Each structure stands twice: as C-alpha cells, then as structure tokens.
Homo-oligomer: A and B are copies of this chain.
Amino acid sequence: MHLAHPALRQPVTAADRVLQEIQRAIVEGDIAAGSKISEPELARRFDLSRAPLREALARLERCHLIERIPNAGARVVTLSTAGLLALYQLRENLEGLACKLAAEHMTDAEITEVRLLLDQHLSSQRVREGESYYQEAGDLDFHYRVILGSKNSYLINILCDELYYLVRMYRVQLGMNGPRVSRAFDEHKAIINAIANRDGELADLLMRRHIAASRRNIELQLQQMGS
C-alpha cells in the first residue's frame, strides 16, 4: 500500500507523456468536449505510433475523460448538469470520508504544512487580487493534501487519479473565478482546524458543506450558460 501515486510521478514512457498532453488538451477544451477521437490523427499529431497512444487512451477512459466503444472508437465526454451532479454527489461523500480519516491519520507535521500552504494562498491572493491562481491550483492543492492525509490508497486513487481531472474539466471549461474565493479560503481554514483538533466528524461535515457550496456555484454558472 504505497501512497505515492501516478499523478505526482513524472512521465518516463512515451505513453505517459502523450497522456499528460491529451489530458491537458481535454481539460482545457483544446480538444472539444463531445468530439470524436481518431487514433491515426492523434498518432500523427503527437508523432508516435498507435501502441502508446492506445495505452494513453485506456488511461483517459479510466479518469472518465473519454468513453470508448469496442470497434467503434472513443469520444470525449460531454459536460452536463446530470453528470456534474453525479460527480459532486460522490465527491461530497468521498472527500468527507477523506477528512474523517485525515483527522485520524495525519501527522502534526503534515497539518502544519497544510496550514503553511493556506497562508501562502492567502498572501498570494491578497497581493495579486486575481483569484485564478488560488482557484486553479490552490484549492485543488488543499483538497489534494487532505486526501493524501487519509492514508487510504484506494480513496486516494479514486479522488486523485480518476475524478481529479474531470473535476478540473468542469471548473476550467465553465471558467470558475467568481466571488467564492475568500469564502472558500475560510472554509479550508475551518476544515484544517477540525482535523488538527482530531474532530473527524466535524471535518467531514465541513468538507461536505464546502463541496456542496462549490457545486451550487458551478450549477449556477451552467444555468447561466444554458440560458
């Protein structure tokens, strides 16, 4: 039960490299949502054979960025309100559990580190007055730390490898940068406090609320775009 997971590992094989490139391209909408994936075309575009490309596609399917049908090809997933709801239902539960476990298993040193991280976010947020950094890397980074703190390898795998990129895709493509930034920061602070107090139940509750609020925020955005 090793805790270092693939996402942090730097690419060693050609399939790893092309996977990261395609992941980024899909998450940022460079490859349009819902569009068909052509193996020969991508192989030419990234200048490698179909073997490593197919390996990459298999992993893309694993993190729900594409859907494959045997003998018929692959399509990039489409964003939908139903999908968002299903995704966040899961996140609420899983990250709640992660908080509960983190309250049991995180070391004091790890907790201190996360607090330092939050302070960095705060200053960088104030200095730049732009929320994008915080929302982009920071928020996810905080969640990342807490998830790792759960020390449950299956949970870590699901949240950091399989759902992570899909969550990012929704946030990036819907352009999340609203006024929720400072509130999110306070919520993070409250969560790490609960973990530090070894109050798993409270940490669980706070994280669920935090994610529910985030979901409502994105739902609103989706609604505005739809109308």
Please report the C-alpha to C-alpha distance between residue A60 and residue B62 in the assembled complex, in whole angstroms: 12
Distance in Å from the Cβ of A7 to the closest Cβ of chain B? 14
Bound state CA distance, A58 and B94, in angstroms? 25
Q: Within 8 Å of chain B (Cβ to Cβ): is A114?
A: no
Asked whether A80 is an interface residue with its Cβ less than 8 Å from the other chain, the reply is: yes
A193 at the interface (CB under 8 A from B): no
Indicate whether A189 reaches chain B with its CB closer than 8 angstroms: no
Binding site for B on A (CB under 8 A): 1, 12-13, 16, 51, 54-55, 58-59, 62, 64, 70-71, 80, 82-83, 86-87, 89-90, 93-94, 97, 101, 152-155, 157-158, 162-163
Copies in the complex: 2
In the bound complex, residues from chain B placing their C-beta under 8 Å from that of A55 are: 54, 58
Contact call B163/A71, Cβ cutoff below 8 A: no
Chain A contact residues: over half helix, strand or loop, or mixed? Answer: helix
Give the distance to chain B from A207, nearest Cβ to Cβ, in Å.
13
**When the two chains form their complex, are residues A82 and B16 in contact, meaning their CB atoms are under 8 A apart?**
no
Cross-chain contact of A1 among B70, B82, B97, B163 (Cβ < 8 A): B82
B contact residues around A16 at 8 Å (CB)? 70
- CB-based contact B58/A1 at 8 Å: no
Q: Once bound together, how far apart are the Cα atoms of A83 and B157, in whole Å?
A: 13
